[in-house]
């Protein structure tokens, strides 16, 4: 048996290494030709018009909030069962995070809870919604968009867990996560535990040209280098008939959120295996599902859901702490996703407390994410299953 089995792990092949090395030998270390190649390939993969590569998923969320104009006091709704960054991007811009509970069946932000919040306040109280394709299960964004349009809200889809995932819309069409049809913006992460790894890295996808242009600008300090966009006059810039060659303008308060070219080369190389990896994840999920079906120690599990991208395979069990520790003793490093965000000390300062999100809190008492990554071998998965069964039997 292998030494240890984590819940997630990257897979770096010889082709990946070659792609990085050849980029290191090129003229570009940071943002170069691999960036747009990666962006184009990624946009094609998720079916969006535009993609913007950035330093990481958190930077992607921050830029989205900035591009949508989140400001002091703006209220934005998200789920407590997510990585903190989904909520934090609102705080970076001075906005207020409003959590709404999950649906205990899907573990996703419950649209009915969101509707109740919206109905209880005057129109204009909320600015946007950040639903999360948690564990890889695609949110029904068609339904969210209908609700958002009613209240004039934008949507940022946090699709970090779901590149290649999809839901079926009301006409039975597959709608890929991040395709930009039902959300203004979507974001992805290329952290090593995610489907596609570039070390650190992130991507924003959109179909909105104005947002796309704004994101490009904000990614690089808010600086513009295009004659037809300049606000200052030619004479100020130091030219008579033309802007001089050195000229550029900082028009907005942006950041340095660029991805390096060698990271883009790694991401691009990984993207080529994304579909294959997704297939393998779905096989692993099926194997877990069948092994747990009808078992009395299982309260609930991720299950077999069409379009699920299985970043995680979650089970809810009795005596979760005991199982977690027992698996660790056997070098199986399962993980808990997530400690509810509203109960983090930082968010408690805003008044959030136990009891506010009952379904998220019950879920947190029972949940555990099992090893799930394309290179997990059948033997290893069976070892995990044996250990879980032997713990309870
Ligand atoms: C990983 C992740 C992020 C943040 O991505 P980083 O690249 O680590 O900054 C945001 N949201 C979710 C749901 C994630 O899983």
Mutate to test the pocket of ligand 1, among 57, 109, 199 (most ligand atoms within 8 A of CB): 57
For the chain, list the domains and their CATH numbers.
5-271 (3.40.640.10), 274-392 (3.90.1150.10)
Predicted pLDDT at 56: 98
Tell me, using a 6 A CB cutoff, whether residue 198 lines ligand 1: no
Atom of ligand 1 nearest to the CA of 56: 7
Judged against a pLDDT cut of 60, whether residue 228 lies above it is answered with yes
Catalytic choice (194, 214, 225, 379):
194
- % pLDDT > 70, the chain: 99
Atom of ligand 1 nearest to the CA of 61: 10
What's the 392 CA to ligand 1 centre distance in angstroms? 33
Tell me, using a 6 A CB cutoff, whether residue 189 lines ligand 1: yes
Q: Which stretch of DSSP H or E encloses residue 37? A: helix 33-46
Tell me, using a 6 A CB cutoff, whether residue 67 lines ligand 1: no
The per-residue pLDDT of the chain, averaged, comes to 97
Please give the average per-residue pLDDT across 8-16, as a whole number.
Answer: 96
- Interacting residues of 3 by C-beta distance below 8 A, sequence separation 6+: 331
What's the 158 CA to ligand 1 centre distance in angstroms? 8
Atom of ligand 1 nearest to the CA of 82: 13
Site of tokens 């909520």? 87
What's the 197 CA to ligand 1 centre distance in angstroms? 12
Predicted confidence (pLDDT) per residue in 337-389, tens digit: 999 999 999 999 999 999 999 999 999 999 999 999 999 999 999 999 999 99
Q: Left, alpha or beta for 221 (phi > 0: left; psi -120 to 50: alpha)?
A: left
CA–CA separation, 302 and 318 (whole Å): 16
Predicted pLDDT at 170: 98
What phi and psi, each to the nearest 5 degrees, are found at residue 292? -95, -15
What's the 53 CA to ligand 1 centre distance in angstroms? 14
194 is catalytic: yes
Give the 3-state secondary structure of residue 150.
helix
Predicted confidence (pLDDT) per residue in 260-308, tens digit: 999 999 999 999 999 999 999 999 999 999 999 999 999 999 999 999 9
Tell me, using a 6 A CB cutoff, whether residue 85 lines ligand 1: yes
Tell me, using a 6 A CB cutoff, whether residue 78 lines ligand 1: no
pTM as predicted: 0.97
Atom of ligand 1 nearest to the CA of 202: 7
Banded model confidence at residue 309, pLDDT cuts 50, 70, 90: very high
- 3-state SS, 74-93, equals CEEEECCCCCCHHHHHHHHC
Q: Are 148 and 155 in contact (CB under 8 A)?
A: yes
Judged against a pLDDT cut of 90, whether residue 190 lies above it is answered with yes
Atom 7 of ligand 1, residue of closest alpha carbon? 57
Banded model confidence at residue 197, pLDDT cuts 50, 70, 90: very high
Judged against a pLDDT cut of 70, whether residue 1 lies above it is answered with no
CA–CA separation, 60 and 78 (whole Å): 16
CA–CA separation, 387 and 234 (whole Å): 72
Please give the average per-residue pLDDT across 39-58, as a whole number.
Answer: 98
Atom of ligand 1 nearest to the CA of 201: 7
Tell me, using a 6 A CB cutoff, whether residue 163 lines ligand 1: no
What's the 374 CA to ligand 1 centre distance in angstroms? 19
What is the torsion angle, in degrees rounded to the nearest 10, for the CA atoms of residue 17, residue 21, residue 24 and residue 27?
-120
Predicted pLDDT at 3: 81
Predicted pLDDT at 142: 98
Mutate to test the pocket of ligand 1, among 189, 195, 196, 341 (most ligand atoms within 8 A of CB): 189
Atom 3 of ligand 1, residue of closest alpha carbon? 57
- % pLDDT > 90, the chain: 99
Judged against a pLDDT cut of 80, whether residue 2 lies above it is answered with no
What's the 308 CA to ligand 1 centre distance in angstroms? 18
Judged against a pLDDT cut of 60, whether residue 250 lies above it is answered with yes
Predicted confidence (pLDDT) per residue in 58-80, tens digit: 999 999 999 999 999 999 999 99
What's the 341 CA to ligand 1 centre distance in angstroms? 13
**In degrees, to the nearest 5, what angle opens at C-alpha 304 toward C-alphas 273 and 206?**
50
């Amino acid at each position: 048996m292998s030494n240890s089995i984590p819940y997630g792990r990257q897979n770096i092949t010889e082709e990946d290494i070659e792609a990085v090395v050849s980029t290191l030998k090129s003229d570009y270390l940071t943002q170069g030709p691999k960036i747009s190649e990666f962006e184009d390939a990624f946009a094609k993969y998720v079916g969006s018009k535009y993609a913007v590569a950035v330093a990481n998923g958190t930077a992607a969320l921050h830029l989205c909030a900035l591009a949508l104009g989140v400001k002091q006091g703006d209220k934005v709704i998200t789920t407590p069962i997510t990585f903190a960054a989904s909520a934090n991007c609102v705080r970076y811009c001075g906005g207020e995070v409003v959590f709404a509970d999950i649906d205990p069946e899907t573990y996703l932000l419950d649209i009915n809870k969101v509707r109740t919040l919206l109905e209880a306040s005057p129109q204009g109280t909320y600015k946007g919604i950040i639903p999360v394709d948690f564990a890889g299960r695609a949110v029904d964004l068609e339904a969210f968009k209908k609700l958002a349009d009613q209240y004039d809200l934008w949507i940022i889809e946090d699709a970090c867990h779901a590149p290649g995932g999809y839901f079926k819309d009301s006409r039975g069409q597959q709608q890929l996560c991040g395709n930009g049809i039902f959300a203004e913006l979507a974001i992805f992460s290329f952290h090593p535990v995610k489907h596609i790894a570039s070390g650190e890295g992130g991507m924003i996808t959109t179909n909105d040209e104005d947002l796309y242009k704004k994101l490009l600008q904000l990614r690089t300090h808010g600086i513009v280098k295009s004659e037809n966009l300049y606000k200052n006059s030619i004479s100020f810039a130091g030219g008579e008939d033309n802007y001089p060659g050195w000229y550029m303008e900082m028009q907005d308060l942006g950041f340095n959120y660029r991805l390096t070219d060698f990271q883009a080369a790694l991401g691009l190389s990984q993207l080529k295996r994304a579909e294959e990896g997704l297939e393998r994840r779905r096989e692993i999920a099926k194997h877990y599902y069948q092994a747990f079906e009808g078992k009395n120690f299982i309260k609930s599990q991720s299950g077999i859901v069409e379009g699920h991208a299985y970043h995680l395979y979650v089970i809810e069990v009795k005596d979760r702490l005991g199982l977690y520790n027992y698996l660790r003793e056997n070098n199986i490093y399962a993980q808990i996703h997530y400690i509810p965000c509203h109960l983090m000390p930082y968010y408690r300062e805003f008044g959030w407390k136990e009891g506010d999100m009952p379904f998220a809190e019950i879920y947190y008492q029972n949940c555990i994410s099992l090893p799930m990554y394309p290179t997990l071998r059948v033997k290893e998965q069976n070892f995990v299953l044996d250990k879980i069964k032997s713990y309870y039997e």
